[in-house]
Structure 1
Amino acid sequence: MSRFEELFTQHVATAFARQLALADLIGECDWQLDLTEGVATFGEDLRYPVQLLGTESHGDGTWLWAWANTGSNLPAQVVHLSEWLRGYGDYAGVTELTEASFPLERADGARLALIASGLTGRCYYRGPYDGGAVFFHVEGLPPALIEPVSPERAFLVLGQVIQAFPVDHRAMLLAFLEQQGWSIGEDGPGLVVGHHPGGSEMRVEFDEQGRIERVSGQIQPA
């Protein structure tokens, strides 16, 4: 497993949970991005500072980091986060965070943004436009959006992540439960049991290939 894949597996579930929380907040609102002011507006009254991550080009099928997009004359104040990620990539040996551009087949914007969300504790937004999409992190959101999720949401996140992404199921689960504040018990390779501080329990059974085979448990009332 590459360092990029390790990072993605470690952070995808908690980052995905934040995306569900952001979707709860903004719903189907239209979006506008003002790079001069460095803010995004959703609908008529939701307005937040942003940090650009990068763009997908659907014409040539490539990703371009915001720090490398010198041709667009981006304001320096909106690329600080992408520059930080580049520095982290240098430190951790993650080439996908340090190379200016590469094919989407290698790593698309969603996977890159989920890693960035896991590393920074922010939510991201994908803004589609004709010929591509811009990805940016949204700052100044209500704190509840990045707090540990409810047990009900944790079960939902787990199911959606294993359907959407080819990850090491066990490694993803253990990272997610730890990040969300659950205590973890393991019974060999076939069973992981998570205990939420509120009393809920999650039991996850694995098949011989290490894939999640069955999820069960009990939810305690809040």
Structure 2
Amino acid sequence: MGFFNKIFGQNNKIETQQDLTAFKTDQELIERYGGIVFDKQLDFGDLIGNNNWNINIANGEISFGTNLVFPIQVLGTISHSSQTWLWAWANTKSGLTDKVIQQALELKKYGEDNEINILKNDTFDFSKEDLHLIGTIASGIHNSSAYYICDYGQGAMIVTIKSDQIDKNRKDNHFRIMTVFPQLISQFDMNHNLALTNYLTDKGYNISENGVKLTATKNGDTVTAEFDDQSRLIKLNG
């Protein structure tokens, strides 16, 4: 979990239902969004560095020092002692407003419409590592700038963030693909071919496939990948 442990991070626009109709499981959502979300987390980590976080729930903001203050959406919390997850919309004692849990409510609706338990069930057994699954899915669906895991000792809260300041810090790093993608597929079960195709498409690459080989090009840079007959990555070069 080394890479994911480095970065634990509102867009009022969820993708249209037409865009999302193909994704009926959490695995399919990870295949669709995992690469680009993972990529964004790197840029976010570079921006905030080692700064400590501070949450102001009343204002709906998280800060990493005086110059890095961002609006948030609260997704939910995990208890380290019981290893259980609780969605923000189910936490009736928290006093959270609908405004700050808007994304969590939209994810609940999506989970109910598509029978995705991790999105529709209010609470369930969970590990700290699984927090990245929630953060990645939520950040991807809502096109967030980042997600962040706010660990406060007894538990942790996941928030998503949308900010022009973060988006302007994005880097179009070609060689990052060769680091991001292998680590992504080591964290989650997925169809490697689909996940890489979605990731490269999100980064603006033109893709062609010839059987089990994929070639992607952008601005003179090329990525090539080979897969076995079960769509598992064998070779990745760029």
Q: TM-score, normalised by structure 1?
A: 0.88
Q: Once the two structures are superposed, what CA deviation does each residue of 1:61-115 show, in whole Å capped at 9, x if it has no partner?
A: 111111111111113321111111112222333221111111115x922101101
The structure with higher relative contact order (CA 8 Å, sep 6+) is: 2
Q: Once the two structures are superposed, what CA deviation does each residue of 1:23-59 show, in whole Å capped at 9, x if it has no partner?
A: 0110110000011111111023211111101111111
- 1:63–1:108 CA contact under 8 A, matched in 2: no
Q: Once the two structures are superposed, what CA deviation does each residue of 1:105-130 show, in whole Å capped at 9, x if it has no partner?
A: 5x922101101111111111111111
- 1:148–1:180 CA contact under 8 A, matched in 2: no
Q: Name the CA distance, whole Å, in 2 between partners of 1:148 and 1:80.
A: 29
Q: Name the structure 1 match of 2:67.
A: 45
Match of 1:76 among 98, 110, 114: 98
Measured on the aligned residues, the alpha-carbon RMSD in Å equals 2.1
Letter in structure 1 aligned against 2:216? G
- 2:43–2:171 CA contact under 8 A, matched in 1: no
1:13-162 matches, within 5 Å, as 13-104=35-126, 108-122=130-144, 123-142=146-165, 143-145=167-169, 149-162=172-185
Identify the range of structure 1 (53-62 vs 154-163) with the bigger mean alpha-carbon deviation.
154-163
Q: Name the CA distance, whole Å, in 1 between partners of 2:183 and 2:234.
A: 14
Q: Name the structure 2 match of 1:220.
A: none
1:1-20 matches, within 5 Å, as 3-20=25-42
- 2:32–2:194 CA contact under 8 A, matched in 1: yes
Q: Name the structure 1 match of 2:199.
A: 176
SS in 1 for 2:190: coil
- 1:156 is displaced (CA, Å) by 2.3
2:233 is aligned with 1:212 = yes
Q: Name the CA distance, whole Å, in 1 between partners of 2:162 and 2:54.
A: 15
Q: Name the CA distance, whole Å, in 1 between partners of 2:73 and 2:111.
A: 18
SS in 2 for 1:162: helix
- 1:55–1:109 CA contact under 8 A, matched in 2: no
Unaligned runs of 5+ in 2: 1-22
- 1:195 is displaced (CA, Å) by 1.1
SS in 1 for 2:93: helix
Q: Name the CA distance, whole Å, in 1 between partners of 2:183 and 2:225.
A: 15
Q: Name the CA distance, whole Å, in 2 between partners of 1:148 and 1:27.
A: 16
Identity %: 31
Q: Name the structure 2 match of 1:203.
A: 224
Unaligned runs of 5+ in 1: 218-222
- 2:27–2:189 CA contact under 8 A, matched in 1: no
